Structure 1
Amino acid sequence: MPEPVPDAVRAAVLPLAAEVLGALDPGAVPASLAAVRRFAPRRRVSAGAGPLWLAVERDDAFRARVARAWSHAHPGLAADLLADPPAAGEDADRLDLAVGAVLLRPDGWQARVSAVTTPPAGAEAPARPDADPAHRAHRAEAELRRLAARLTAETERADAAEAELVALRRELRRLRSDADRSRSEARRAAEHAAEVAAAAERVHAETAKVRASADDDRRRAEDLARVAREDAAALRELAQVRVRLLLDTLVEAGSALREELALPPATRMPADLVAPPTPGPAGPAARPTSRGRFADDPALLDDLLAMPRAHLVVDGYNVSKLAWPDQSLAEQRRRLTERLATVAGRTGAEVTCCFDGRDADLGTRAPNGPRGVRVLFSQGEIADDLIRRLVRAEPPGRVVVAVTSDRALGADLEAAGARVLPSATLLARLGRV
């Protein structure tokens, strides 16, 4: 167990440790000395002696800082203590040597500390420190060096404090300027906020007026809508009565005409009665209106098929080869006729689809065509001529819609009174099926 350090050595170490503590940056202060550092410089030694000495004994980093400060004030003694072997002679002050030994901790430092209280070997009586003039001169020189080092350190500290003071004053001026600017901006912001609040109040008042006016307009509109609904209901009822009366009149007139003429019910259509080709000119017939639609508009086809007793005549392969060019002819016929059957079922129109007979070993009419679609194959003629005869067989005034992209055939069909639409229009209509 190490021997206790004499009080004289401890008393010499503590002021230096307190001085070093005051010069440390806040981040480098040991946790055990944080409270001591907040003391006034004159009270650190007296009030914080215990924590200071424990830090010197146990905190190697703090003791190293104190040792550097002591070595700066006693460079000769520090060099002698750290020499191997130690070169400090008997003429050196034993207290200074003990302080250096406690701080630097060279080999055998405890002996140096014990020498403070142990008289030199062979001495008859302890000599007074001030009895020898050389000893006093050495002590004075050592004290002078210590004071000079301390003066240098204090001067450097004063210069640093002055520089810090200048920087703090500069920072204070900047902060004051920023504070003035902030107050000015805050004042402007407050004025702007007051203006915005006043504008918001005005907008709120205007909004309330507009809301009240809108409520009045809504009530008036609801009243007008109620009256309009009542008037519309009355007009609708009147129109229904008129239409019912007119329809009853037409039905009765038609029944009377059928009885008068003794007309049997229609069992066959004109397309069923198409005979072999016979020469003879056919005059142009009236065409239904398109309502301003273009020929490639599928809606035009819908409008035409929605007319009473409309007849759709399709150039089969002209349409199917455009839609499914990679499929076989039989598959093309199947796909086209199935889709045409759907159109016939939805519109109620008569649908006839014509194919060239040389491409199929069939008769004039397909035996198993889809429901609602008349499938015809030309025999001894091309399908174009069959389509021409079908259109010419229709009575004038009936809506006949022919679908083909063959220009020559289309011109002949238009001359015969049919409305000709391109194949792409029908395909666009079939795409919605």
Structure 2
Amino acid sequence: MSGRPDEGGEGAEAPEGTSREQDGSAADASGDGAGAGAEHLSRPLPEAVRARIVEYGSDVLGGMRSADLPPLLRRVAKFEPRRRARLAGPQIAAQLETDDTFRAMVASRVDQVWPELAEGLRSGVVPPAADPVAVAACAYLLRPEGWPRIIDGVHEELEREASVREADAAAEALDAARRQLDETRHDHQADLERLRAQIRDQRAEISDLRRKVHSERQRARRAREEAEHALTETANRESESATQVTALESENRRLRARLAAAESQVENARRAVRTGRNADEARLRVLVDVLVDAAHGLRRELALPTGLDSPADLVAEAEREHRRVSLGGLPDDDPGLLEYMLTAPRVHLLVDGYNVTKTGYGTLPLADQRTRLLGSLEGLASRTKAEITCVFDGADVDTPPVVASPRRVRLLFSAPGETADELIVRLVGAEPPGRPVAVVTSDKEIVSAVRRSGARAVSSAIFLRRLESHG
């Protein structure tokens, strides 16, 4: 659905015949909604449906005649559609709710773009494959019989989908937590087994020391017995036995010192078991090992160089910066150029999104244009294995539209203050020398800029014919 003319500028008056057709369609749409005038919504519109309705109203507002514009929206009618939807979204939504004529004009445009969907809503049959947000937006604008029930059903479906996504995310988080718990248990079990082995070794060592102490004690006891026996035998020879008694006492003191030293060693060993083999040190060692392994893995993943480039390498790199591999000697308007580019190894295909969609199907709403182009690019990426990047203009939008990103196509919106043209030129300049790069656009300024950077350009018309010929 197109809410503004592609040529002639925004706010230009529509041809007289078109105006009469819209007035007639508006009258029909108003007549369809008259029977449902007593029906009201039981709760506010879903945010996605409200945004889609405002977008449709913004598109239609740019193509209305000045005399037909609602007074509250005349000031923003000359704005670009996305800017109108951003700055006057609440006013457009309120006007659609209160102004039956304006709503009927938007409904007539919806009826022209999606006649099957509109006819199905009027007959009470909702196409099962239709986008729920588009169905709810059309039901709100066309106001067929039972339209609040249709919107409530879409609201419940959107809430159900959100609940399913939340449940899946919770299940994934639970699985991850369980895996982490299993890994932690395994690590703790390994640490426990290692500590138990160390304790067994320490106990064996303590047992050996105890046996040695017992042996020394037995020797000391035997020595004392021998000394006593000698004293008894040499009672009459005190002078002769004095030397022997002194020697035995010295030996006794030496043995006691050794016994004390052995007992001190046993106590130190026990203290080391208590303080040196605690859980904090074990966890610290595990953490250090994990950090070291993560650092090595990150280095391998980022392919960090092992050394710095030499000055001669930098000079050679500067010389190669001026040269980029050309994608063949075919001219840009040759139909065979695109096929040649898609067969080039490691080719990077940059697509100027709105330039292609406005060339091929500019009558659709912007959201549907993006969806259709991304679906075609997904199929092309699957067939050719080429790297494809699609760029849309998001300079006039604070928050880029929410679009499900395809698996094989990189989707980018230009940041505020930057156009899609500047983003495409910046992406071409970021490619390394020697890689083949091609840009799909019919914008002459982009074509000139990317050619200066060494990339090739192909027109949007040739690209669209390639997509249509291959389904």
TM-score (norm 2): 0.31
Greater RCO (Cα-Cα under 8 Å, separation 6 or more):
2
TM-score (norm 1): 0.33
Larger Rg: 1
